[in-house]
A and B are shown apart, each in its own frame.
Chain A
């Protein structure tokens, strides 16, 4: 349904409008920046925001898993809002998560928010995950070709005749791919910000998420002097 193919390092990957990456050849699904238990992290600091973020994020993830039936799921870091998050998972949400992960291999890539392995959840924890020509890491780093990363929560504002429409998006230049943040309480960083634009000195394409398709827009290249600023 509405997924768009891109080729990174010679591999055909599908960008799903739900904000997840599917790699059909490897039956691999990748999702970034879930920030589970962000709500309770705020509550601990005195901001009692609604505690429904984890169940909302799961409610979006479960149908995707059902649809693709992957062998492996790569959580691209910041899966929990903080290292203590996994301990705060409400029992019902934990049960849903365990059920969803049953029968697949979970790979928990460490993020800056959740550097430690999520205790009590199935799967393996890694600093980064390499598979074929692709490397999955949380924070985009030096090696560019075939890098799949999260961390930056990209969003873009597309010009339409009725003014700008702002959405979370994938960003890729054919060498590197940034995933949008998937969590219910995750905001976004504009792709024009140097932290993102600096990663794509020769321009890129943004795929804005819609209910059942992606909307693709080119991003202008940055001048060499400004490149690699991020």
Chain B
């Protein structure tokens, strides 16, 4: 097909547009009835390309009933696209109704949609699952002609992506004729993404349409005026330069890596904002209404800059952005490109972006990232296999829709890309888990959720089960959140519950760009007032930071190890590296440099592993466990994106065996038992699988006896049925997700026999950033009791062994306040702060 049919051709011509080649390619694919994956950079008319075939089809042969389903990871994106589509449809007078259905859709509209579906429905994976769990799903989706999956790269490989893939498999059964269209940013692994989208889990069944990105982006490296910081990740030293660049441009997005960083950078810019430039902020914890206001202000050109987190990474075009500034290292090449693509949405002009590294290592990372972009290299892992917890939820949802035969459902599920390799054993165990918990001890026969009839069909038992499912649907398990409400005013956003638990009335914190004073806590809300004295704290959110990608890490290593490649590095960094050459040596490209040195009565071990923060946290656990066994008395460790730093009471010996591959054996098993990360993983899996109640923000807390602590369940299950399906799922997820065990395994194999141990008499230049890194992990587990004993005996000393509880106890404890309890408490609180919460602006400069 070379041209567009009327009225589309006329409509395009009327605005002086010509159809893009990929738009025509998608029309052609639709004509042939092919599934297709479109890879295109932002701003290429991607969404219109996805919808065009459906519009053409409906213009040619108008019909009632659902024709096209559009699924997006973002509610806002669905809403925005519905708006953008409605205009041309109205202008061309097409008989097409376009509606959205998300968690925000009012109940009466949902009911109406089920009775008379629109031709085009725009929704999210969660809302789609809900629709598919209803008994009328076959009628609703029966006539479906096309399914468009937007931002497919952001969904594949996540639990929401698993859920969507399972939904697509069900749709393939309900509407076998429906074409699939995936829209995605350019990715490193198009083939697995095609397989993910494919109805047969085979990449070959999905045609690939790729548009080459236009001009290559242009990068500037921005260093602070003064000295280049040794540590820190906030980049505040460069605030004056960022502000100057904002003032020179029309509309700037200042991308940062975490919500805490957004608050700090925003505050720093406003301190400098003498010209009162309209500068806004956008992050995922701000109240949704406030975010919408910022987006609208951008679109209308009323803002000069927005400080944003990943919440602006995806989706909608908000106005004419002419500059993107990335503060802090980009952490990944694909992510950097995605962000840069936010500027200048015209494919023929280069996007301009400024990189603002926060410290010396980040300078190297920024240079590595720009080199990778220039070389056209992308990073990102191929999608991992689907989660069994998501499958459990899906099995129950399908049972709620209609009785099924296990063989048929197994066939359906394995048609989904993420579940293509699912074994029948795992499927059966998941099914049994949904039925009666799947326990070796047959105790819950009476409480089954599913039952089988004489023909082997699986039915759901009772309406309560379906109700419970709908309450707990979805794969996003939030840490408990509390709304932040101004006294006598509105809600400004949400913070995590544990953060609030570290506050005392009168403490103040930075949120949404203002200093708030904590007053009190009400059910599901924190009451605050504006203002407050003292240094404000900044809420940090769990799992906020992206780890450095494998690919970018390899580039960083190869730059560091080769002085010939330093010419793009600024002089202070080159000097730093030359100093390292003299005092120690450069980390090798493929081997591993380990330095040990004494400092402050302790021994430090710094390993230049470059595997990202998550992997280093896990590696730190394993290495300290091995050190414990070797009697080296490890005291604690910290993992940055670049290095692992461990400190111990005795000098580390036999470094080879600390990084031997067998630490993944015994130490791993021991660690699995105690790891708080594993416990978090289990909590999330148990919630998604339906074992635990989901947290409903804003809902009244049920009584103490009603809640069930997932840690207690984890301990009991581990002891009594270690091969239970949920524990298997937890271990599988730990191997790749939160703990990056796979990455550690690759590292240990790579460096085997190539470990260089340098015994130094003092800290080396490259080790300095690790030593001033915040967020240290202490060696817990076995050491926990030793620490308790130490603390108890300290208190004992302070009380002279007073151990009887006569009438004098009150006096004793009163005097203790200074030396014992309250001092220790305050210290403990500070420790907690330093682990998770950054004090507001404090730079460590060289």
A210-B785 contact, Cβ under 8 Å, with A162-B779, A218-B795: yes
The interface residues of chain B lying within 8 Å CB-to-CB of A215 are: 788-789, 791-792
In the bound assembly, the distance between CA atoms of A52 and B718 in angstroms comes to: 10
Name the A residues within 8 Å of B814 (CB-CB): 203, 220-221
Interface string of B427-471 (1 = CB under 8 A from A): 000000100110101011011010000000000000011001000
| Residues A50 and B439 in contact, CB atoms below 8 Å apart | yes
Counted as pairs of residues, one from A and one from B, with CB atoms less than 8 Å apart, the total is 177
**Interface residues as binary, B617-641 with A (CB distance below 8 Å gives 1, 0 otherwise):** 0000000000000000000100000
Flag if B784 contacts A165 (CB, 8 Å). Answer: yes
B497 to chain A, nearest CB (A): 14
CA distance A76 to B488 in the complex (A): 46
- Nearest first, the 9 A-B pairs at minimum CB distance are A174-B805, A162-B778, A48-B437, A159-B828, A51-B443, A202-B810, A52-B720, A160-B787, A203-B813
Q: Find residues 44-63 in chain A having any chain B CB closer than 8 Å to their own CB.
A: 44, 46-53, 55-56
Contact flags A187-227 to B (C-beta < 8 A → 1, else 0): 10100000000000011110010110101111111000000
Asked whether, in the complex, the Cβ of A203 is within 8 Å of the Cβ of B809, the reply is: yes
Answer whether A203 and B437 are a contact pair too, CB < 8 Å, given A46-B464, A50-B720, A220-B821.
no
Which residue in B692, B810, B827 is a CB contact (below 8 Å) of A47? Answer: B692
On whether the beta carbons of B717 and A47 are closer than 8 Å, the reply is no
Are B799 and A218 closer than 8 Å at their CB atoms? yes
Q: CB < 8 Å: which of A47, A186, A187, A218 contacts B812?
A: A218
Q: Does A68 touch B at the CB level, under 8 Å?
A: no
CA distance A90 to B715 in the complex (A): 20
B441, B779, B805, B817: the one contacting A173 at CB < 8 Å is B805
Tell me if B85 counts as interface (CB < 8 A to partner A).
no
Q: Please report the C-alpha to C-alpha distance between residue A213 and residue B795 in the assembled complex, in whole angstroms.
A: 16
Q: Is A23 interfacial (CB-CB < 8 Å)?
A: no
Q: Which of B254-262, B381-389, B529-537, B701-709 contacts A (4 or more CB under 8 A)?
A: B701-709
Complex interface: chain B residues within 8 A of A39 (CB): 443
Cβ of B724 within 8 Å of any chain A Cβ, yes or no, is yes
**Within 8 Å CB of B805, what residues of A?**
6-7, 172-175, 204-205
A residues touching B (Cβ–Cβ < 8 Å)? Answer: 6-7, 39-40, 42-44, 46-53, 55-56, 81, 90, 113, 153, 157-165, 167, 172-175, 184-187, 189, 202-205, 208, 210-211, 213, 215-221
CB <8 Å contact, A174 and B441: no
Q: Cβ of B691: which chain A residues have Cβ within 8 Å of it? A: 47-49
B806 at interface, CB cutoff 8 A: yes
- With CB as the reference atom, state the residue of chain B lying closest to A53: B716
| Residues of chain B lying within 8 A (CB to CB) of residue A203 | 809-810, 813-814
Inter-chain contacts of A48 with B (CB < 8 A): 433, 436-437, 439, 444, 447, 449, 691
User: In the bound complex, how far is the Cα of B267 from the Cα of A197, in angstroms?
Assistant: 40
Residues on the B chain within 8 Å of A6, using CB: 805
Contact partners of A52 in chain B: CB under 8 A: 439, 441, 716-717, 719-721
Inter-chain CA distance A6–B806, complex, in Å, is: 11
B464 neighbours in A (Cβ, 8 Å): 46
With A49-B713, A220-B817: A158-B778 Cβ-Cβ less than 8 Å: no
* One of A7, A186, A220 near B813 (C-beta < 8 A): A220
Smallest CB separation, A49 vs chain B (Å): 6
* Interface residue ranges, B against A (CB under 8 Å): 433, 436-437, 439, 441, 443-444, 446-447, 449, 464-465, 468, 636, 691-693, 704-705, 707-709, 712-713, 715-717, 719-721, 724, 778-780, 783-785, 787-792, 795-796, 799, 803-806, 809-810, 812-814, 816-817, 820-822, 824-825, 827-828, 831-832, 835
- CB-CB under 8 A from A49, the residues of chain B are 437, 691-692, 708, 713
- In the bound complex, what is the Cα–Cα distance between A152 and B804 (angstroms)? 23
A159-B825, A159-B828, A221-B810 given; A187·B788 CB < 8 A:
no
Q: Report Cα–Cα, A172/B831, bound state, in Å.
A: 28
Contact: B719 with A56, CB < 8 Å?
A: yes
Is A161 a contact partner of B790 (Cβ separation < 8 A)? yes
Alpha-carbon distance A163/B828, docked complex (angstroms): 5
Contact B447 A50 (CB under 8 A): no
Contact yes or no, A211 B778, CB < 8 A: no
Shortest beta-carbon distance from A77 to chain B in Å: 13
Given contacts A43-B447, A161-B787, 6 further A-B contacts (CB under 8 A): A47-B693, A52-B721, A53-B716, A158-B788, A174-B804, A187-B704
Highest count of chain A CB atoms <10 Å: which of B707, B817, B828:
B828
* CA of A229 to CA of B468, assembled, Å: 37
Query: In the complex the two chains form, is B821's CB within 8 Å of A217's CB?
Result: yes
Chain A residues within an 8 Å CB radius of B704: 153, 187, 189
Residues of B near A204 (CB, < 8 A) are: 805, 809
Q: How far is the CA of A109 from the CA of B785 in the complex (A)?
A: 33
* Cβ–Cβ contact B809 & A174, under 8 A: yes
Q: Which of B692, B707, B796, B806 is in CB contact (< 8 Å) with A187?
A: B707
Task: Report A-chain residues with C-beta under 8 Å of the C-beta of B717.
Answer: 50, 52
Name A4's closest neighbour in chain B (CB-CB): B803
CA distance A52 to B446 in the complex (A): 16
Residues A208 and B788 in contact, CB atoms below 8 Å apart = yes
- Complex Cα distance, B436 from A217, in Å, reads 44
Residue numbers in B under 8 Å from A184 (CB-CB)? 712, 715-716
Contact A56 B708 (CB under 8 A): no
CB nearest neighbor in A for B791: A160
